[in-house]
Chain A
């Protein structure tokens, strides 16, 4: 694999990489976003990775700008996420995205039976607000319908303890592998007994706050094993990045050593998240994003331990464009925060800064100045559509 090192800084930015900056000029048009300059020049990031090779499936994928917002009136029954309702939502949502009536045809646009499919879940809000087992099971069943056998699927995240406490290891069908990247034994039968879950040859290097280890390595599942990635983030606020959606779920769940990018009140999640998502293997293999918004979090994320800040949004957001989905997510969370009288995610009032423990107590306080404009920065890097006016948000209600 040919690897090169790219440098981001104020002078070089996207030009050096030769990627289109289709949204750079229009990135300030979001209704709720401040008129902030691009963050790409704010931090020097060296990316050591294979060169990105454009393809129709690579982000923003087959349907740039399209977001299917599929809701169900009762996806939660008696506190449990209803498997049948999720099936209906996913089936009809995929049909709306692709135009294919048969689920197998819809999924065949993204995967083939020979693919090794990595499924990126979000388990960090253990136990209440995570990628639901119901959604994960339906995605696995849909992949089966497209001919992908269980043995070709890998459910993964950075933290194996969070995967385990949520029951991913034990509740998926037999044959599907569930891997925490912090495990040293990621591959059955590997002869390398000290194998790490990360690829030493693919990394982003940046010094955020003078930390000792300045490299963040990409998961070897992403670089070496998977041929496709299905991304299953959760609709929720994040105390540093504003929201944790498609982009952050992919970046911070696939690279290691990422917590170092935010030391309150400053966070470099913008531009680190979008730059990480631009790294060749992650960008080219992430072909479909299905955001679990059945239960959602408007404050206290990513952990969402206070149930007061969790609400039933009853939706899935489906698409191939992670920027467009995250932009819609941002609007949904902002709307909810307005409804409850919480400050905007773009808030810069120092009086609203609080300690980390405050976020479990009140929606008025946050330890960081959040950086939701990381979504816009991703658009500058060609990962998708930021402007609401250009996003084709199709709301459908199923029952």
Chain B
């Protein structure tokens, strides 16, 4: 569970739950509510204190009351939203295609600050203590003050940054479109080490047990030592990997463009199981309490048993390129590429 302020990577933590506990294992059987938005939803919804926040390609950030789906507020940005929102204290933070990152008040939907950069911001802003970090397709990694948006540092990486950074006390780990996985000094943005994959790294790294865990477009999934940048293990998949990994209970889960959901042993990369093939999986899975859940392109939302890979349930509600469902004690929340948000139980 994320702290109230720190949101150290996409969806707050490595299990990709969006900061929500997820005990439910039964298949959703009933529609609580649904909302049809103005365009596709590419990002993941996030949930806190009974409010679901959804960024839409129509340029709006929506806040829904989870009990009835009523819209509490909407914020109109000046460009499409592909970035998964981050929650930090009283703020919702998100990037937009015009290169801006905005901080909006969670309760009112009013803008607190906005910072401009180069290229679209598809990554999710990452918060550590009083700093917000984000990458852009213009090649910049930027650090700004959480309270004011004032620039702390900016680093030009000369490659598209679509990967959401993972931030620790001293380091920032992020993938680059040219295949670099870099560890930067969190306070200065300078290189600590660089690992070079053979093709782009789009996924967000997970960091656990001294390993940076991330897939690449070069078909490999890597476990890289957090201190040295050396590869501890790697495994080959059938196509590129853009799905950010979820890590839970010593297992690493991620989807492949080859259509498989993979479960690996975190210690040595051993394949524990992989799903039956689906359409391409580019979205991050969530992993929690005995099950792992993922949305696939052109497909469905499916849940599998973490230990065996046995399919637990499936919801044919429209696929997603990059969205991760939320499974809470009360409901399952899905945002789909066609732009429909579902609350199911």
Q: Which A residues are within 8 Å of any B CB, using their own CB?
A: 79-80, 126-128, 133, 160-161, 164-165, 167, 169-175, 182-185, 188-189, 193
Q: A127-B239, A167-B202, A174-B137 are in contact. Are A160 and B40 (CB under 8 A)?
A: yes
Pick the contact of B80: A172, A174, A175, A184 (CB < 8 A): A184
A126 to B280, CA, bound (A): 8
Complex contact A173–B160 (CB within 8 A): yes
Checking B39, B138, B238 against A184 with a beta-carbon cut-off of 8 angstroms, the contacting residue is: B39
**Nearest CB in chain B: distance from A198 CB, A:** 15
- CB of B297 within 8 A of CB of A161, answer yes
Contact call B297/A126, Cβ cutoff below 8 A: yes
For B57, the chain A residues whose CB sits under 8 A away are 183-185
**One of B79, B99, B160 near A174 (C-beta < 8 A):** B160
Contact B119 A175 (CB under 8 A): yes
B238 to chain A, nearest CB (A): 8
B217-249 at interface with A (beta carbon < 8 Å):
217-219, 238-240, 242
* Distance of A125 Cα from B255 Cα, bound (Å): 19
Query: How many angstroms from the CA of A189 to the CA of B99 in the assembled complex?
Result: 10
Interface residues of B (CB under 8 A from A): 38-40, 42, 57-59, 76, 78-80, 97-99, 119-120, 122, 137-139, 158-160, 162, 177, 199-200, 202, 217-219, 238-240, 242, 257-258, 279-280, 282, 297, 321-322, 337
Q: Find out whether the CB atom of A167 lies under 8 angstroms from the CB atom of B119.
A: no
Looking across the interface, which residue of chain A has its beta carbon closest to that of B198?
Answer: A80
Q: State the Cβ distance, B213 to closest chain A Cβ, in Å.
A: 19
Given A165-B280, A170-B177, is A127 in contact with B257 using a C-beta cutoff of 8 Å? yes
Neighbouring A residues of B137 by C-beta, 8 Å: 169-170, 174
A184 touches B202 (CB 8 A): no
B-side contacts of A127, CB under 8 Å: 239-240, 257-258, 280
Find chain B residues with CB under 8 A from A172 CB.
160, 177
Cα separation A133 to B322 with both chains bound (whole Å): 19
A-B CB pair tally, cutoff 8 Å: 90
Whether B59 contacts A185 by the Cβ 8 Å rule is yes
**Chain A residues with Cβ under 8 A from B202's Cβ?**
167, 170-171
Contact B80–A161 (Cβ < 8 Å)? no
A174–B162 contact, CB under 8 A?
A: no
CA distance A174 to B80 in the complex (A): 18
Chain A residues lying within 8 Å of B162, measured Cβ to Cβ, are 169-170
8 A-B pairs (CB sep. < 8 Å)? A165-B280, A167-B242, A170-B122, A171-B217, A172-B160, A174-B138, A183-B39, A184-B57
CA distance A133 to B56 in the complex (A): 27
Chain B residues within 8 Å of A188, by CB: 79, 97-99, 120
Nearest-CB distance from A287 to chain B (Å)?
Answer: 27
**A193 nearest CB across to chain B (Å):** 7
